[in-house]
Structure 1
Amino acid sequence: MSIIPQELTMKFSADRTEKKGPLGGAYYETYIKITLTPEEENIARKQGIMRTIIFGGRSSDDPETIEAFRLCGMVNITMEDLIQGITVKVGSGQELGRLAGFEDLIKQRCKNLKSNITADQFFGSGGSKDEEEL
């Protein structure tokens, strides 16, 4: 017997565009946004996830901090930032792999945080019991 919690629907969206620079060259921009259900947001606030640093570091020489600043002008990115939405830019087509890699990393880290939110449903409301035949 297994009790399945209500399905949570955190959403990741990435709006990608190619733009023309002031000197005629192209640059690439992605607007990344996370959407939570009201229940997910309540749990995330309760667990302190909204202020959790998803990308970036605490010191200026940390590689993630440097990368976050280069890509979006921020030294660290929190779940709250992603709910508001962030813009990530690279200056040439040669850097598109960096942009794609960053999107994938943010998406994976958000999935990890969603696991925490989902687990809260098993422990909140008095707990739950899971039994299954092995």
Structure 2
Amino acid sequence: LMDRNLDQLLMCAIYVIAKVTKEDKSFQNIMKCYRTQPQANSNVYRNVLISERTSQDQTVIIYDTHGSLCYNFTSTTTTMIISSTTPNSEEEERGDLIHFYNNVYIKQMRHFALRFSPSSGSAVVSSLMFILLCLFK
């Protein structure tokens, strides 16, 4: 879930918790609330990164203007992606926030989110339901 806007992740988190706690909140409603925020930007929910530019192991490769390899670094903790024109650069796949949620977010967060379902017996569930009710009054 790297290289995502924090607002994108927050909207997805609100929606998944609403789903597992059986709150009747649509993604459209969550995005409507987001649009009232001062930092709101339509690109945040209309132009979302679906597939990443680099491989999962975060390889950063820099080429010079002639296409010769200048630098190659692989790290699982790298968060900086250096933009450069590479001979075989991959295209980014982009879509809307709901597409991102269905195809990326929920696949990675499903097991974690299910811990907050009422059937899990967690005391955290009632707190989350209270927070959701306050958010959407």
Q: TM-score, normalised on structure 2?
A: 0.23
Q: TM-score, normalised on structure 1?
A: 0.23
